[in-house]
Amino acid sequence: MINGVSHVNIFVSDQDEAKAFYTEKLGLEVRQDATLEELGGYRWLALGPPNQPDVNIIVSTPGPPVHDAQAAKTILDLVAQGALGPGIFTTDDCRATCAELKSRGVEVAQEPEERFYGIDAAVRDPFGNLWRVVQPLEYDLDAMQQANSAS
């Protein structure tokens, strides 16, 4: 059976620019960066949060051997629109994190807002990938649903 997630993927148009953004602006670390000749020169770029060594973000440029030119263009168009939200980064202080990221030149696409699950914001990478940044709070979704159905 499945026992975890080790890698997730994001698409970008420029892996060098993405590497700089994710490491210098967001503070991720490089896990692996290699060109694989057996895959037609595919560049394997894996980044991740320093305190989560078992979680890797694969930073890929769409194209051969997996995507043809039209598919690659479609993927990058969707990324640019922010339509392929890759995931959620967590933080202990969403407001302070967003202020720090802004000072580093990161686009904060949605300012921090309080939600039932925590304080939530959104940041955008240079390619359009829209990441959530969340300061999670404890909540009981079942209890909330029961309370809503009772009223």
Report the chain's mean pLDDT, rounded to a whole number: 93
Q: Please give the Cα distance from 129 to 123 (Å, whole number).
A: 8
Domains of the chain, first to last: 7-150 (3.10.180.10)
Task: Check whether 12 has a pLDDT greater than 80.
Answer: yes
pLDDT in tens, 86-113: 999 999 999 999 999 999 999 999 999 9
- Greater model confidence, 32 or 41: 32
**CB hemisphere CA count around 42 (13 angstroms):** 15
CA distance 89 to 83: 17
Q: Looking at residue 131, what is its pLDDT?
A: 97
Question: 60 is written with which tokens?
Answer: 């890929």
User: What confidence score (pLDDT) does residue 124 get?
Assistant: 97
Q: What does the alpha-carbon distance between residue 95 and residue 72 come to, in Å, rounded to a whole number?
A: 35
